Amino acid sequence: MKLLFSDWHERLRALGPGLLMATAAIGGSHLVASTQAGALFGWQLLWVILLVNVLKYPFFRFAVSYTLSQEQSLIEGYRQEGRGYFGVFIVLAIVAAVVNTAGVLLLTATLLQYFLSWVLPTPPSVVWLSALLLVICWSLLILGRYRLLDWTAKVFMLLLTIASVAALVVAWQQGAAVPADYQSPSPWAMATFGFLIAMMGWMPAPIEISVINSLWLRSKHRLAPSTKPFGVFDFNVGYWTTAGLALVFLALGALIQHGSTTEIALAGGPFAQQLVSMYAVTIGEWSRWLVAAIAFICMFGTTLTVLDGYSRVLTECWELQKPSKHKQRRLNTLLLLQGLSGLAVILFFAGALGPMLTFAMALAFVTTPVFAWLNFSLWRKTGSGSRVLSVWAWIGLTYLVSFTLVYIGWLLAT
């Protein structure tokens, strides 16, 4: 009994990097893509969301297995593979850092604008709010106040999860709102192919988050070596919780919004209003303010995690190329450049949430096979892999490459 208690105590102590990954993941892919998939097409895309989560699993898992077995980050592994591997990774990491920063920052600003619309007759534009949020994020990260907000974001992420599951239970008991004679549109038309690719791009998260998770994991087990045997447990808890929540958000969209006479908003203030209204019509009107605040704080935590994570990845790349005694100065410099570049992308899209997120998610999907192969090839060279995971990975790669090629062909044809 004592040994069993000790075992679970160590498992709980190991929790951390996997939950941070979940915090970074539950953003655009869940609040936007999963909800809209259910609202637009009902239950038709449930198996697609489940499939993409299952088929991406090995490539996230490889990052954890490699870091635990080699006691180094994926970035160090990429560099050891040669200049070609490392160069490809750096280019993709820079693009992903800028685009994903813009995506989560703009989504956070949209939720803040909706919240402010209750107290201000004319709230600032999402572009100005994005700039304001960026300054606040810089201040918190550079001044070292991120730890407190990170803990707060996890608490609010837990509250959002509880609220979402509670809303789902109530909505399930009430039954679907879709009229009996309603004909659901098909998601398999060529016109909706772009939406499918975008949805899968950030599901459950951009795959380069595995590299950030590798850095978090390395730091965790340097501070607490005894938790190392339970690193995979921590990852599995975070990953499958995130995958399960994707299905919860799809179910909410299918039960509450699907078949509605109100046009499904894909972006901007109307999207934020419909998102919050899903909870209000099930849990109660009293929850509107609370859910809006929770959703905003969760996305703010995601934005901070993305800014911090990608800047650390790029700093690690710089340090491996040219070590310096001023690592913190480099980190702050890249943090500022990453944020400014993300803001420039927002300005390019004129603050339009829909096109911005679609672009970010689609780009994430197109680059997924490259990151997946990098992780797979590193893991294979450790010699500690299982046959099941290897076959699983080959099936996943075939799926990802096939869809990517079809998507590129679809883009060229349209």
> How far apart, in whole angstroms, are the C-alpha atoms of residue 405 and residue 403?
5
Structure tokens at 414: 């349209």
CA pair distance 334, 310, nearest whole angstrom: 9
Distance CA 90, CA 92 (A): 6
Domains and their CATH numbers in the chain: 21-413 (1.20.1740.10)
Q: How far apart are CA 75 and CA 62, in angstroms?
A: 13
Task: Quote the pLDDT of residue 130.
Answer: 93
Q: What is the spatial distance between Cα 25 and Cα 207, in angstroms, rounded to a whole number?
A: 10
Q: What is the rounded distance in angstroms from the CA atom of residue 208 to the CA atom of residue 288?
A: 34
Element (H, E) at 258: none
pLDDT at 3: 40
Tally: H helices and E strands in the chain: 16, 0
Residue 15 is predicted with a pLDDT of 59
CA angle 335, 231, 59 (to 5 degrees): 70
* CA distance linking residue 234 with residue 151, whole number of Å: 17
pLDDT, tens digit only, all 414 positions of the chain: 444 445 555 555 555 666 777 776 776 677 778 888 888 898 999 999 999 999 999 999 998 888 888 888 889 989 988 888 888 889 888 988 998 898 889 888 988 888 888 888 888 888 999 999 999 999 888 877 556 555 665 676 677 778 888 888 888 888 777 777 778 888 888 778 888 888 888 788 888 888 888 887 887 767 666 556 667 788 888 888 888 888 988 998 888 888 776 666 656 567 777 777 877 877 778 778 877 887 787 788 788 888 988 998 999 999 988 887 778 889 889 999 999 999 999 888 776 667 777 788 888 888 889 889 999 998 888 776 688 899 999 999 999 999 899 888 888 887
204: cis peptide before it, omega within 30°?
Answer: yes
Please tell me the predicted confidence (pLDDT) of residue 227: 57
Q: How far apart are CA 32 and CA 48, in angstroms?
A: 16
Q: What is the pLDDT of residue 276?
A: 79
**pLDDT (0 to 100) of residue 132:** 95
Burial of 399: CB neighbours in 10 Å, binned 0-12, 13-18, 19+: middle
Q: Whole-model pTM?
A: 0.85
Residue 348: other Cβ atoms inside 10 A: 13
The residues, ordered by sequence, that sit 6+ positions from 189 with a Cβ below 8 Å of its Cβ are none
Sign, Cα dihedral of 267, 36, 95, 212: positive
